[in-house]
């Protein structure tokens, strides 16, 4: 995990970052440098084959694993913390920013329905953003509905912190599901109807150029006034993108101005285990910060709800409804991100739970919105 085994004691980044760096597009055998300290992930060091002598093995055994796991990754440049307001619409559709694809990596396993990719983009520090904001992407080619004109902008929630996956403020990451259309009669894929932008992004190669607009959005910004606040995050599929940014900021990065000491509770709904996104990162936080992080999964094709039906994210919410309502009464923030089809089922569940508690859901929802505790971004 360091250039020489004897340097293990001075390691500053987290072992848990190893898996996230893989997801960010880094090759595991590359040396990485943070804060002028050379680092390679522990998994790339074959302790048995490289160091077979007793002397080296004893050094490894004596390493304090707890300290290594708990430490966070220093982030640069620190001036990204100085702005009082989030950056908004620095680049517009008529004058987009030309960024470069760094890496594209499939996030899901072989048994996942569909393909979801983690895409790292180099913006050179010229399109800064805050956690919870979105980028617009203009795919190449012309708009079929307006010949001679470019495609319309597609919005994607940013899946990284303002420092990006390389922790230097020069990259951003998107979590994109490839939109594929299948003909209902033949059952065959019809490429002419596939999602233009999602397929462009998932098919991109390192070095390809990409036109960005934004950043945009304020509704999903992470409130940081109270570092001990509770944040309940509810996502379906790629809706987990902004929450990955929140959680990296809370648990992975050493941010001088934001030291999280509250509770982050993530509910993630996907089809099956192979469809889980960033699961290695989230389970790492669960291990390292058990008092500050909770993680519940709703796997619709693998789990059953209390009525024997498929387990959806609203079923998980109902399972913990008493606790969730108490946290909301105590000022917790609640966030929803994913396909807009998720919201009716969730709203129905919350309304039913409220009525069972003798409360009016409409009144409660109005109060949550008034208190700025309610954050929704669906598409």
Binding-site sequence positions: 157, 177, 238, 300-301, 310, 338-339, 377
Is 156 designated active site?
Answer: yes
Query: CA angle, 51 as apex, 48 and 54 as ends, to 5°?
Result: 95
For residue 16, what are the contacts with CB-CB under 8 A and spacing of at least 6?
69, 252, 280, 281, 284, 285, 287, 288
Cis peptide bond prior to 215, omega within 30° of 0:
yes
Residue 93 tokens read as 């559709």
Distance CA 66, CA 288 (A): 9
**Cα separation, 167 vs 165, whole angstroms:** 5
Please pick, among 34, 135, 156, 285, the residue that the annotation labels catalytic: 156
Integer Cα distance of 16 and 5 in angstroms: 19
Spatial distance between the Cα atoms of 10 and 17, rounded to a whole number of angstroms: 16
Q: Is 379 a catalytic residue?
A: yes
Annotated binding site for NADP(+): 157, 177, 238, 300-301, 310, 338-339, 377
Query: Among the options 117, 197, 202, 337, which is catalytic?
Result: 337
- Among 181, 182, 258, 379, the active-site one is 379
44 among known catalytic residues: no
- How far apart CA 256 and CA 184 sit, in angstroms, is 54
d(CA 163, CA 144): 37
197 has catalytic annotation: no
**Separation between Cα atoms, residue 95 and residue 15, nearest integer Å:** 41
Both tokens of 273, joined, read 């285990």
Q: Is 312 assigned a catalytic role?
A: no
Output the CA angle 9-12-14, nearest 5 degrees.
105
* Cβ–Cβ under 8 Å, residues 212 and 136: yes
Active site residue: 157, 166, 204, 275, which one?
Answer: 157
- Between strands 116-122 and 171-177, the pairing is antiparallel
Instruction: Please name which of 206, 198, 215, 233 lies closest in space to residue 117, comparing C-alpha atoms.
Output: 198
Question: Cα(199)–Cα(154) distance, rounded to whole angstroms?
Answer: 12
3-state DSSP of 284-301: HHHHHCCCCEEEEEEECC
Which of helix, strand or coil describes residue 283? Answer: helix
In Å, how far from its chain's centre is CA 230? 18
| Residues catalogued as catalytic | 156-157, 337, 377, 379
């Amino acid at each position: 995990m360091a250039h020489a085994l004897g340097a293990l004691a001075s390691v500053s980044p987290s072992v848990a970052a190893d898996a996230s760096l893989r997801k960010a597009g880094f090759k595991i055998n590359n040396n990485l440098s943070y804060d002028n300290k050379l680092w390679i992930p522990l998994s790339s060091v074959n302790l048995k084959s490289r160091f077979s002598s007793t002397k080296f093995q004893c050094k490894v055994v004596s390493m304090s694993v707890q300290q290594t796991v708990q430490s966070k990754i220093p982030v640069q440049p620190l001036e990204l913390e100085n702005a009082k307001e989030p950056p908004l619409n620095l680049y517009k559709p008529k004058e987009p920013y030309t960024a470069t694809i760094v890496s594209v990596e499939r996030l899901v396993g072989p048994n996942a329905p569909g393909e979801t990719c983690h895409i790292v983009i180099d913006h050179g520090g010229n399109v800064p953003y805050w956690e919870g904001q979105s980028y617009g992407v203009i795919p190449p080619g012309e708009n079929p509905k307006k010949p001679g004109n470019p495609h319309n902008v597609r919005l994607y929630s940013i899946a990284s912190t303002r420092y990006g996956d390389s922790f230097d403020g020069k990259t951003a990451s998107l979590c994109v599901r490839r939109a594929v259309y299948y003909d209902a009669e033949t059952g065959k894929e019809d490429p002419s109807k596939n999602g233009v932008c999602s397929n462009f992004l998932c098919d991109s190669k390192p070095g390809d150029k990409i036109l960005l607009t934004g950043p945009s959005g304020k509704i999903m910004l992470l409130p940081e006034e109270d570092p001990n606040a509770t944040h309940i995050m509810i996502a379906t599929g790629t809706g987990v993108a902004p929450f990955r940014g929140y959680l990296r900021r809370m648990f992975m990065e050493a941010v001088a101005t934001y030291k999280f000491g509250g509770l982050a509770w993530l509910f993630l709904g996907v089809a099956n285990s192979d469809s889980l996104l960033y699961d290695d990162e989230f389970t790492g936080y669960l291990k390292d910060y058990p008092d500050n992080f909770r993680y519940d999964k709703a796997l619709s094709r693998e789990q059953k709800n209390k009525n024997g039906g498929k387990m959806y994210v609203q079923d998980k919410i109902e399972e913990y409804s008493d606790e969730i309502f108490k946290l909301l009464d105590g000022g917790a923030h609640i966030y929803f991100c994913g396909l807009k089809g998720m919201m009716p089922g969730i709203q129905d569940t919350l309304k039913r739970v409220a009525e069972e508690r003798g409360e009016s859901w409409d009144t409660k929802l109005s109060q949550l919105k008034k208190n700025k505790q309610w954050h929704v971004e669906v598409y």
